[in-house]
Structure 1
Amino acid sequence: MKIDILAIGAHPDDVELGCGGTIAKMISEGKKVAVLDLTRGELGTRGTDETRKQEAEEASRILKISARENLGLKDGFLINSEESQLKIVKIIRKYRPEMVLANAIEDRHPDHAKAAKLISDACFLSGLIKIETELDGQEQEAWRPKHIFHYIQWRNIEPDFVVDISNFMDQKLEACLAYKTQFYDPDSKEPMTPIATKDFLESLTYRAQDLGRLSGCVYAEGFTTERILAFKNFDSLVF
């Protein structure tokens, strides 16, 4: 299945938190989006890998994504190895995305920055014709996405650009809250974590609102880019 955008996260919920509004917006405009989770999030303090799987399925339904896969790499111990790179290469060649959205280039969780580099390297390697891969017994053709953008997570990284998600903030929040074991619930008996606090839940809104304030819209999500972007014109700019 050919898609337009492949959003990749180290853990289930990374994509929803980092770029859920952008995904919802792109899908509303007719783009096909798939999500790849690198791990099952099995080391998460709250919930289990099975509840995380169910929550990811619900978030996918809310965002209306076309497909979602999980590579089952080791949570907390991501390694930028040949084996991991080739697993991602196979997914890139399977879906042939024009754009990849990846983890933050640096962050509180060590898996996030590791994933950012791993994904970037895999995108490059996927375009090399002498790297041979097979999927379901069929030889795959080389494919390199045109763009790799990194969403912003825990740390307040200065974005290179933002996407106006003013009409999609509610959908983003709904997708994030599908991970009900992970986030704020005053009735939960599970241990408290930094992302399970009321402040973190509220930060999803006020951080998007602040980026919107700075860029001339109501809510926005920020991204960093690996290379300089060129605009065909200024028609899509928000003032």
Structure 2
Amino acid sequence: MKADILAVGAHPDDIEIGMGGTIAKAAANGKTVVMAHLTKAELSSNGSVEERLKESAAAAKVLGAEKPLSYSFSDRGLLNERKEAIAALVKLIREVKPVHIFAPYHEDRHPDHGHCGEIVKEAFFSAGIKKYGEGESFKPEALYYYQINGLIKPDFAIDISAFMNQKYEALACFASQFQSGKNKVETPLTNGYLDDLRARDRLLGRETGVSSAEGFVSERLLLYPFPEKENKE
């Protein structure tokens, strides 16, 4: 299977938070989206591994993406398994040959998100090296970073106005994470997190002149596609 987009996260729900609307939009336009979680979030304050797997599968279905790939690298221990995680992602990149790769941006309150972004950057580079690892080398066109927590100044934004409901329907699948209740541990996710996230999407939309948007940082300088006049000489 070949993918137009490969989105990688440290935990189930990372990708959906940062770019759920973009995934829904891509899928609606006939693009194949593969999502991969490096850990099963076994150290999460709420929800079991089994719950998270079911939730992420349900969310992917809502967004129109392929069923998520779930690796078993250690939650809060990605740096200890850095070499193995890079090798696994290089193998995946060479298999699905994505046009674009997305990973978490490093400015985030959760260290795992930044570590995941570093690992993806390494894999993005190494996948294009002919003598690295096994399989035929492949270099995607671009690596972009999505934001999970906080508010960064993005390099570009994607209009998700028509896909906001779909994004938050997918996030609602993660009841173990975003719903408070009896026998639940209070975390930043259970305390109005989705309301704040929706406000961020609307703020970014306002900045770009649309209703809602998701912001991204580019690994390299973007070239504006300025229309050029044909040279008739």
TM-score surpassing 0.5?
Answer: yes
Q: Give me the whole-angstrom Cα distance separating, in 2, the residues matched to 1:146 and 1:220.
A: 23
1:137 paired residue number? none
1:15 paired residue number? 15
Give the aligned residue type for 1:228: L
Q: CA deviation at 1:81?
A: 2.6
2:145 paired residue number? 150
Residue from 208, 215, 227 that aligns with 1:215:
208
**Does residue 205 in structure 1 map to residue 198 in structure 2?**
yes
Q: How many residues align?
A: 226
Q: Give me the whole-angstrom Cα distance separating, in 2, the residues matched to 1:29 and 1:231.
A: 23
Q: Give me the whole-angstrom Cα distance separating, in 2, the residues matched to 1:231 and 1:189.
A: 52
User: Could you list the per-position Cα deviations for residues 190-211 of structure 1 after superposition, in whole angstroms to 9, with x for gaps in the alignment?
Assistant: 11111111x2120121110000
Question: 1:100 aligns to what SS in structure 2?
Answer: strand
Distance change in 2, residues 1:179/1:188 (3 Å): farther
Q: Where in structure 1 do 4 or more consecutive aligned residues deviate above 6 Å?
A: none
Q: CA deviation at 1:82?
A: 2.0
2:230 paired residue number? none
Equivalences for residues 1-239 of structure 1 within 5 A: 1-79=1-79, 81-133=82-134, 140-185=135-180, 187-197=181-191, 199-233=192-226
Question: 1:72 aligns to what SS in structure 2?
Answer: coil
Asked if structure 1 preserves the Cα contact closer than 8 Å seen for 2:28 and 2:64, the reply is: no
| Consecutive unaligned residues in structure 2, runs of 5 or more | 228-233
Identical-residue share of aligned pairs (%): 38
Q: CA deviation at 1:188?
A: 4.1
Asked if structure 1 preserves the Cα contact closer than 8 Å seen for 2:18 and 2:148, the reply is: yes
Asked if structure 1 preserves the Cα contact closer than 8 Å seen for 2:11 and 2:41, the reply is: yes
Asked if structure 2 preserves the Cα contact closer than 8 Å seen for 1:6 and 1:33, the reply is: yes
Q: CA deviation at 1:231?
A: 3.0
Q: Give me the whole-angstrom Cα distance separating, in 2, the residues matched to 1:223 and 1:61.
A: 23
2:231 paired residue number? none
Q: TM-score, normalised by structure 2?
A: 0.94
Q: Give me the whole-angstrom Cα distance separating, in 2, the residues matched to 1:115 and 1:81.
A: 9
Q: CA deviation at 1:183?
A: 0.1
Q: Give me the whole-angstrom Cα distance separating, in 2, the residues matched to 1:188 and 1:92.
A: 42
Asked if structure 1 preserves the Cα contact closer than 8 Å seen for 2:5 and 2:99, the reply is: yes
Asked if structure 1 preserves the Cα contact closer than 8 Å seen for 2:38 and 2:85, the reply is: no
Q: Give me the whole-angstrom Cα distance separating, in 1, the residues matched to 2:66 and 2:54.
A: 17
Q: CA deviation at 1:233?
A: 4.0
The alignment's C-alpha RMSD in Å is 1.3
Q: CA deviation at 1:105?
A: 1.9
Higher helix fraction (1 or 2): 2
Question: 1:51 aligns to what SS in structure 2?
Answer: helix
Asked if structure 2 preserves the Cα contact closer than 8 Å seen for 1:5 and 1:32, the reply is: yes
Asked if structure 2 preserves the Cα contact closer than 8 Å seen for 1:151 and 1:224, the reply is: yes
